[in-house]
């Protein structure tokens, strides 16, 4: 096509005619406009980049002393003497913490409510409908502040509920007794979790072996033994010393009430968690309901005709098929929940966004900080997407 | 044919709109240049002072139930208007948020800014402002519940403190506690309303911000006596009026109105006795301050570019420094005795350079 155009172009004698050839050639016209546009874009990008470089970029200011405290630290230790990187990292951990716990409970709530919405029981289906319609249509920020104010109505710390010394309930936090270890406790729990996942994989792998008529011990038993062996071996290697950690409420010499120990659920964390779970749960409810309703009614009827119970019908026939259309929009909701967790800036929960804002206010350098926040949220989102895509591939394989 | 007529209409309307735009910009630039350098002349021309204030801080600047602005900072706006225009009522108040205040001043939206603003080096130099004289020496303080029994920062070991996030207050707080090895938990809020709710519900033991702000919030509680502001001051916060950089005429007037009010208190001139003092000054110093002749002599003119007897208007219409303090800040519980805001003769920092 280009050679054709070139031939025509050369065959013309005058410049005016040559231009005319180009002017009336459709593909050249398109190319010319795109060429102009891309030149404009390149110049514009170059301008933006050169502007950005005239500002002071770089993360040098993050190495200096933070100088401010954080109310919530989880796994990582942080004091105001640490660098701003330390503060930022604490914020990242807090964001991941609230997002993961939120995703877990929102999924649970969404599936239960989605099934309830389809129930033939009038009360159950209406409760679910009311939940969805009420909470889906109010702003999340207001729900967060609402939950914070509700949780502040718990008794003040001076008359905290102690339930006979096993738990402390006040508006500084709800402390529950847990079993913990003096050292390496969280590391051991992490190892146990990883081992659990590994043994689940092992179990499905062994099941496949069994299907191919290989004589083998019960796969269930083998994977349980695998889990126990790893658990016990690491127990002794890490020197785990389990003891019960019962929360206490003490008064120090100046009359300050101090609650410590156990598993602490602070009002700030609880408020952002409740709001995120309840809000995202409404969308998941609708996704579950929609996916189930999109299945042909024949699937239900066939399951009933086979004499399956309601529980069997849902877990063996309906949900596995519905999962195919549930997971892609569910991924979206998980990403939304993670991003919405940055609203916790309103209620004193130090997530990554709040910590970054404090750093920006103290040290300036807003552009690099915003870039860092974007990278952080992008990584979190990509990680969730990756995980969900793997899950999706597994689910869509079922029954094919 | 129709096509040409349409084109002609478009061209003519374009030309017309361009003309209008040019006319507007020309007008704007001309008015800009007349008001740019000498704000004092602009105020006199306009017959009104435009003052940037706070409208939400009891005692300093607040709108009362009658819809009028009142407070300590507001009275200094009135004093400047009385000095320049002879009438304390000729003020237009522009309520501003903390983050918008310096931009409003830089953009000529207001003539002076009197909005509990701390004098710092970066604000004076980087932001292009000129601070006149501090009218109130503030400091960061700590408010606790009276029933808690706290009497010092040291006694607050293990407590939780509510603070606004990203403020210098947050950093001062950590310097004080961590610097002294006192364990504490900061709870940092973005805005004051959820912070106040958390403090009232006992989520935190203390609330820290400027002492004047604490006194103002304390006065707003249903029973103020349930709350105590600890004596210790965590940082220096001198508050005062400010003008734009290189606006010397107005700057000098504002500065010397403030000094004049302090000097009047020192010399015992109040709003009730100013007229008798002016007609029969007891010493040459008072005569110079009030812009009248002593013992039949000529009044001294300092060349401020306003009436020589401007301090008479200020004191008769607004009062001296002590009277203004008494009427707005004492009701909040900010007593003067023993504080930095006492007269220098009584050990405070309220000190006016000589009026001569």
SS3 readout for A252-314 = CCCCCEEEECCEEECHHHHHHHHHHHHHHHHHHHHHHHHHHHCCCHHHHHHHHHCCCCHHHHH
- The strand pair at B69-70 and B61-63 is best described as antiparallel
The answer to whether A258 contacts B158, with C-beta atoms less than 8 Å apart, is yes
What is the reported pLDDT for A54? 62
The residue-averaged pLDDT of A9-22 equals 80
CB contact under 8 A, A152 and B187: no
- Say if strands B136-145 and B206-210 run parallel, antiparallel, or are unpaired: antiparallel
Residue B215 within a domain: yes
Q: Is B6 inside a domain boundary?
A: no
Residues of chain B scoring pLDDT < 50: 1, 22-36
Gap between the Cα atoms of B210 and B342, Å rounded? 18
B244 and B118 in one domain? Answer: yes
Q: Which pLDDT score, from 0 to 100, does residue B28 have?
A: 43
Say yes or no: B244 and B223 in one domain: no
Q: Contact A91/A354 with Cβ under 8 angstroms?
A: yes
Cβ(B47)–Cβ(B101) below 8 Å? no
Domain ranges for chain A: 84-138+273-397, 183-238
Identify whether B340 is part of a domain: yes
Of B235, B260, B294, the position where a domain reaches its end is B235
Optimal mutation site among B99, B142, B158, B189, interface A, most CBs of chain A within 10 A:
B158
Q: Does position A259 have pLDDT exceeding 90, yes or no?
A: no
Domain count, chain B: 2
Q: Which two tokens stand for residue B330?
A: 């004492």
Mean pLDDT throughout A98-112?
A: 94
Q: Do B147 and B269 belong to one domain?
A: no
Looking at B191, B217, B235, which one is the last position of a domain? B235
Q: Based on the domain organization, do B246 and B334 belong to the same domain?
A: yes
Same domain, B214 and B255: no
Average pLDDT over residues A203-209: 79
Give the CATH fold of the A84-138+273-397 domain. Answer: MetI-like fold (1.10.3720)
Q: Chain A closest CA to B228's CA: distance in Å?
A: 16
Q: Is residue B4, in this structure, part of any structural domain at all?
A: no
Q: Is residue B334 in some structural domain?
A: yes
pLDDT at A400: 47
| Three-state DSSP class for residue A206 | helix
pLDDT per position as a tens digit, A176-201:
887 776 667 777 888 888 888 888 88
Is the pLDDT assigned to residue A275 strictly greater than 90?
Answer: yes
Note the pLDDT of residue B18: 58
Q: Do B203 and A172 touch (CB under 8 A)?
A: yes
Q: How much of chain A, in percent, has pLDDT values that exceed 70?
A: 95
pLDDT at A287: 95
User: CB-based contacts of B333: which residues, under 8 Å, 6+ apart?
Assistant: B215, B218, B219, B224, B229
Looking at the fold, whether B338 and B322 belong to one and the same domain comes out as: yes
Instruction: Give the residue from B345, B15, B145, B342 showing the smallest Cα distance to A257.
Output: B145
* B166/B306 same-domain check: no
Last residue of a domain, one of B179, B205, B235: B235
Q: Do A360 and B166 touch (CB under 8 A)?
A: yes
Contact B189 A348 (CB under 8 A): yes
**What was the pLDDT predicted at B35?**
42
Instruction: Kindly report, residue by residue over A30-58, the tens digit of the pLDDT.
Output: 888 999 999 999 999 988 887 766 666 67
What is the per-residue pLDDT for A126? 95
**Pair B160, B196 in one domain:** yes
Residue A310 has pLDDT above 80, yes or no: yes
- B191 is in which domain, residue-wise? 139-235
Q: Are residues B127 and B244 in the same domain?
A: yes
Which residues, 6 or more positions from A295, have their beta carbon under 8 angstroms from its beta carbon? A318, A321, A322
Q: Which residue in this structure is represented by tokens 């701003």?
A: A84
B326, part of any domain: yes
Mean pLDDT lowest for which of A155-159, A222-226, A256-260, A316-320? A256-260
B250 and B340 in a common domain: yes
In chain B, % helix, strand, coil (3-state, to 5) comes to: 45, 15, 35
CATH number at residue B58: 3.40.190.10
Cβ A360–B203 below 8 Å, yes or no? no
What pLDDT is recorded for position B342?
94
pLDDT digits 0-9 by tens, B130-143: 999 999 999 999 99
The answer to the question of residue B2 being in a domain is: no
Q: What pLDDT is stored for residue B24 in this prediction?
A: 46
CB A68 within 8 A of CB A358: yes
Beta bridge partners of A249: A259
Query: So what's the pLDDT on residue A360?
Result: 80
Same domain, B202 and B263: no
Higher pLDDT: A211 or A279? It is: A279
| Stretch (H or E) spanning B173 | helix B168-179
Instruction: Report the residue of B201, B206, B226, B234 to disrupt the A interface, i.e. the one with the largest count of A CBs within 10 Å.
Output: B201
Give domain status of residue B23, yes or no. no
State how far residue B145 is from chain A, nearest Cα, in angstroms.
12
The C-alpha of A80 sits at a distance from chain B's nearest C-alpha, in angstroms, of 7
pLDDT (0 to 100) of residue A172: 87
CA neighbor of A241 nearest in space, from A191, A167, A179? A179
Does the ipTM surpass 0.90?
no
Measured CA angle at B125 (ends B123, B131), to 5 deg: 60
Residues B255, B218 share a domain: no
Q: State the smallest CA–CA distance between residue A259 and chain B in angstroms.
A: 10
């Amino acid at each position: 096509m280009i050679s054709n155009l070139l031939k025509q172009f050369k065959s013309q004698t005058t410049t005016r005619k040559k231009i005319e050839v180009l002017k009336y050639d459709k593909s050249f016209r398109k190319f010319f406009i795109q060429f102009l546009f891309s030149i404009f874009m390149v110049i514009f990008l170059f301008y933006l980049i050169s502007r950005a470089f005239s500002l002071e970029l770089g993360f040098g200011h993050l190495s200096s002393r933070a100088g401010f405290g954080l109310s919530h630290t989880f796994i990582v230790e942080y004091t105001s003497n640490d660098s701003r990187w330390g503060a930022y990292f604490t914020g990242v951990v807090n964001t991941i913490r609230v997002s993961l716990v939120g995703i877990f409970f929102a999924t649970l709530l969404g599936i239960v409510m989605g099934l309830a919405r389809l129930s033939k029981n009038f009360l159950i289906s209406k409760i679910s409908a009311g939940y969805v319609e009420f909470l889906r249509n109010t702003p999340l920020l207001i729900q967060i502040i609402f939950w914070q104010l509700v949780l502040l109505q718990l008794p003040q710390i001076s008359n905290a509920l102690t339930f006979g010394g096993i738990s402390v309930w006040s508006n500084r936090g709800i402390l529950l007794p847990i079993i913990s270890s003096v050292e390496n406790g969280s590391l051991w729990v992490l190892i146990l979790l990883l081992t659990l996942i590994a043994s689940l994989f092992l179990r499905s792998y062994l099941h496949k072996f069994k299907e191919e008529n290989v004589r083998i011990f019960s796969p269930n038993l083998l994977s349980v033994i695998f889990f126990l062996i790893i658990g016990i071996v690491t127990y002794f290697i890490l020197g785990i010393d389990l003891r019960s950690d019962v929360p206490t409420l003490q008064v120090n010499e100046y009359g300050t009430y101090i609650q410590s120990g156990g598993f602490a659920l602070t009002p700030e964390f609880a408020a952002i968690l409740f709001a995120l779970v309840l809000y995202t749960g409404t969308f998941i409810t609708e996704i579950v309901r929609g996916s189930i309703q999109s299945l042909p009614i024949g699937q239900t009827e066939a399951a009933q005709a086979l004499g399956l119970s309601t529980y069997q019908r849902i877990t063996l026939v309906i949900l596995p098929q519905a999962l195919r259309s549930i997971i892609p929009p569910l991924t979206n909701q998980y990403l939304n929940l993670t991003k919405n967790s940055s609203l916790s800036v309103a209620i004193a929960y130090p997530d990554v966004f709040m910590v970054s804002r404090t750093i920006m206010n103290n040290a300036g350098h807003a552009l690099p900080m915003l870039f860092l926040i974007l990278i952080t949220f992008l990584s979190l989102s990509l990680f969730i997407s990756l995980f969900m895509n793997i899950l999706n591939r597994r689910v869509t394989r079922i029954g094919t | 044919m129709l096509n040409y007529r349409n084109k002609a209409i478009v061209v003519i309307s374009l030309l017309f709109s361009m003309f209008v735009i040019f006319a507007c910009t020309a007008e704007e630039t001309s008015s800009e240049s007349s008001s740019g350098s000498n704000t004092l002349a602009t105020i006199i021309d306009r017959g009104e002072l435009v003052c940037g204030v706070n409208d939400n801080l009891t005692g300093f600047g607040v709108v009362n139930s009658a819809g009028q602005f009142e407070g300590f900072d507001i009275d200094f706006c009135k004093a400047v208007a009385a000095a320049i225009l002879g009438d304390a009522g000729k003020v237009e108040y522009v309520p501003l948020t903390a983050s918008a205040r310096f931009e409003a001043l830089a953009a000529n939206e207001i003539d002076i800014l009197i909005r509990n603003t701390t004098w710092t080096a970066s604000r004076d130099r980087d932001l292009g402002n000129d601070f006149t004289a501090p009218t109130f020496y503030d400091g960061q303080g700590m408010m606790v519940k009276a029933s808690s029994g706290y009497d010092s920062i040291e006694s607050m070991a293990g407590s939780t403190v509510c603070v606004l996030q990203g403020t210098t207050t947050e950093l001062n707080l950590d310097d004080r506690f961590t610097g002294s090895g006192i364990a504490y938990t900061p709870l940092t809020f973005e805005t004051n309303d959820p912070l106040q709710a958390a403090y009232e519900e006992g989520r935190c033991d203390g609330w820290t911000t400027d002492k004047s702000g604490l006194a103002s919030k304390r006065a707003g509680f249903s029973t103020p006596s349930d709350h105590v502001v600890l004596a210790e001051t965590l940082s220096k916060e001198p508050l005062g009026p400010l003008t734009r950089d290189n606006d010397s005429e107005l700057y000098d007037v504002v500065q010397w109105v403030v000094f004049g009010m302090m000097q009047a208190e020192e010399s015992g001139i109040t709003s009730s006795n100013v007229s008798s003092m002016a007609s029969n000054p007891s010493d040459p110093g008072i005569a110079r301050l009030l812009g009248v002749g002593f013992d039949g002599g000529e009044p001294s003119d300092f060349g401020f570019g306003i009436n020589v007897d401007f301090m008479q208007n200020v004191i008769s219409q607004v009062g001296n420094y002590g009277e203004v303090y008494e009427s707005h800040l004492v009701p909040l519980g900010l007593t003067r005795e023993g504080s930095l805001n006492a007269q220098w003769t009584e050990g405070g920092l309220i000190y006016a350079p000589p009026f001569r």
